[in-house]
Amino acid sequence: MSSQSQQLYSQLPAIDRLLRHDAITPYVTQYGQTLISDLLRQMQAEARDAIKHQEQLPAWSQDWPKELQHRLDKQQQSALRPVLNLTGTVLHTNLGRALLAQPAVDAVVQAMQCNVTLEYDLQGAGRGHRDRAVADLLCQLTGAEDACIVNNNAAAVLLMLAAVAAGQQVVVSRGELVEIGGAFRIPDVMRQAGCQLIEVGTTNRTHLADYRTAVAEQTALLMKVHTSNYRIEGFTAAVDETELAALGRELGVITATDLGSGSLIDMTQYGLPAEPMPQRLIAAGIDLVTFSGDKLLGGPQVGIIVGKKALIARLQQHPLKRALRVGKITLAALEATLRLYQQPELLQQQLPTLRQLTRAPEQMQQLAQQLQQQLEPQFGDRFVLAGEACWSQIGSGSLPADRLPSHALTFTPRDGRGATLMALTQQWHQLARPVIGRIADGKLWLDLRCLESAEQLLEALKG
Ligand SMILES: *Cc1c(COP(=O)(O)O)cnc(C)c1O
């Protein structure tokens, strides 16, 4: 070992001494000795490595307490960091979809802190059924006879298929064999549930006669899947739910629809694209309907199955239900969200998803102007800031072509370089509350639809 290295090793402070350092003892008090010693040992090992391989101390070793604080900050940072979603996609799956309404947040906090009557019937003091309270609400809201709640809509489809059609055939139109993002493909789910998929019709046209011809001894289910994220246009034909339900009744075969998003309110009354409503399919006579809790419904991540009492009972009793069931926290959030639908007049104000989707473009335009002025001093030398009209998307498997007029604050690099744009994006991803926009046409777009206030962005950009 060179004398240079020897000299550097001798400069390394001992862990004991560091633990007693005035600038480090407060961390020991706050985080405990175990965590702090571990970090210091890690730092020391790195410093030894640097001496061994580079014959020098790492740059940070000038100030151990500062480096310790830096590492603590990084370590304590949650892997689920709150971000500002300025992507323009309201229900962004990778950013956690719907934000909960305040009453749902309150219900969640209470359910986390208290024991609750999850499966406990106060009247009979016996064992209740954990979906009971929300099932009753769902029956009121959809006209269904009963309901079942599982982890997400993918689980809802899986459970439904396994419980009513395992070992049997399920008839689906070739135009509806969809793939939803994240490896949810209808044919794969069928296989997992132990069902045999019988494809009928063609990609663009499927008729009632196609379903009728396919029904055989082993047919358990006629199933429709809402093709939410694409549209087949031109020479097309599909069978509507009323006809399919009638055929199912005539032939004694169960009918089901995977709605995906589904909305309990008529979206067109807010000027939004029409979205199928579970209650209309129940009224049309479909036996089982599945949809998501955290898409247009604006609630927690769940899968909801509504339908006929006897069929829901089969789902509730299936062993998979035990594996796919949700906990009290989720049920509390769902119940509070569903209660909001009992007061439809207040919904637009109370439900964040609906509030964001129906935000007036003029309001976002004003916000863009205000932010442009406030951010120009900070960014104006490197970027041209502008308020520009843009289009938001609903997201979560809704049709990408269904776009909502919105307004963005855009940043165009004065040097015209993509690298400058990437650097800005990267910098904003490293903020304590990362700001996430989207890059298009050589600019960074901050779609202001989901921004609550100018302060929210200004605050985030500070650190
Ligand atoms: C979104 C969607 C699913 C999956 O729902 P998750 O709640 O994400 O599991 C399944 N089917 C359709 C038609 C969908 O749109």
Which residue is it, tokens 């702090």?
36
Q: State which ligand 1 atom lies nearest to the alpha carbon of 228.
A: 15
Does ligand 1 lie within 6 Å of residue 195's CB atom? no
Q: CB 229: neighbour CB atoms within 10 A?
A: 17
Q: What's the mean pLDDT when you consider all of the chain?
A: 94
Q: How far is the CA of 149 from the centre of ligand 1 (A)?
A: 14
Tens of pLDDT, residue by residue over 217-248, are 999 999 999 987 788 888 899 999 999 999 99
Q: How far is the CA of 292 from the centre of ligand 1 (A)?
A: 6
Q: Do residues 388 and 407 lie in contact, with contact meaning Cβ atoms separated by under 8 Å?
A: yes
H helices of 94-221, in order, are 102-113, 132-142, 153-165, 186-192, 208-214
pLDDT above 70 coverage of the chain, percent: 98
Longest C-alpha distance within the chain, in Å?
Answer: 93
Across 328-335, average pLDDT: 98
How many residues are given for the chain? 463
Tens of pLDDT, residue by residue over 103-115, are 999 999 999 999 9
CA distance 25 to 39: 14
Give the pLDDT score at 125: 66
* For residue 279, pLDDT beyond 90: yes
Q: How confident is the model at residue 178 (pLDDT cuts 50, 70, 90)?
A: confident
Candidate of 97, 157, 292 to mutate for ligand 1, largest count of ligand atoms within 8 Å of Cβ: 292
Residue nearest atom 11 in ligand 1 by C-alpha distance:
260
Which residue is it, tokens 């909960």?
100
Residue nearest atom 14 in ligand 1 by C-alpha distance:
260
Spatial CA neighbour of 244 closest among 291, 201, 203: 201
* For residue 120, pLDDT beyond 90: no
Q: Do residues 61 and 13 lie in contact, with contact meaning Cβ atoms separated by under 8 Å?
A: no
* For residue 316, pLDDT beyond 90: yes
Q: Do residues 95 and 80 lie in contact, with contact meaning Cβ atoms separated by under 8 Å?
A: no
Does ligand 1 lie within 6 Å of residue 201's CB atom? no
CA distance 262 to 216: 30
Q: State which ligand 1 atom lies nearest to the alpha carbon of 155.
A: 9
Q: Do residues 255 and 300 lie in contact, with contact meaning Cβ atoms separated by under 8 Å?
A: no
Does ligand 1 lie within 6 Å of residue 299's CB atom? no
* For residue 397, pLDDT beyond 80: no
**DSSP assignment letter at 176:** G
Tens of pLDDT, residue by residue over 426-444, are 999 999 999 999 999 999 9
Q: Are strands 443-447 and 403-413 parallel, antiparallel or unpaired?
A: antiparallel
Does ligand 1 lie within 6 Å of residue 282's CB atom? no
CA distance 390 to 169: 46
Spatial CA neighbour of 411 closest among 459, 444, 365: 444
* For residue 182, pLDDT beyond 90: no
Spatial CA neighbour of 311 closest among 171, 203, 156: 156
**Helix (H) or strand (E) run with residue 284 in it:** helix 278-284
Q: How confident is the model at residue 126 (pLDDT cuts 50, 70, 90)?
A: low
Q: Confirm whether pTM is higher than 0.85.
A: yes
Does ligand 1 lie within 6 Å of residue 395's CB atom? no
Give the pLDDT score at 146: 98
* For residue 123, pLDDT beyond 70: yes
Residue nearest atom 12 in ligand 1 by C-alpha distance:
260
CA distance 207 to 209: 5
Across 203-210, average pLDDT: 94
Does ligand 1 lie within 6 Å of residue 248's CB atom? no
Q: How confident is the model at residue 78 (pLDDT cuts 50, 70, 90)?
A: confident
Q: How confident is the model at residue 82 (pLDDT cuts 50, 70, 90)?
A: very high
Residue nearest atom 15 in ligand 1 by C-alpha distance:
260
Give the pLDDT score at 180: 82
Does ligand 1 lie within 6 Å of residue 224's CB atom? no
Does ligand 1 lie within 6 Å of residue 98's CB atom? no
Q: At 421, which amino acid appears?
A: L
Q: How far is the CA of 380 from the centre of ligand 1 (A)?
A: 43
Does ligand 1 lie within 6 Å of residue 153's CB atom? yes
Q: How confident is the model at residue 74 (pLDDT cuts 50, 70, 90)?
A: confident
Structure tokens that stand for 316 in this block: 């509730």
Across 338-353, average pLDDT: 96
Q: Which long-range contacts (CB under 8 A, 24 or more apart) does 453-456 make?
A: 453/367, 454/367, 454/370, 454/371, 454/374, 456/84
* For residue 421, pLDDT beyond 80: yes
Q: How confident is the model at residue 2 (pLDDT cuts 50, 70, 90)?
A: confident
Give the pLDDT score at 399: 67
CA distance 378 to 189: 51
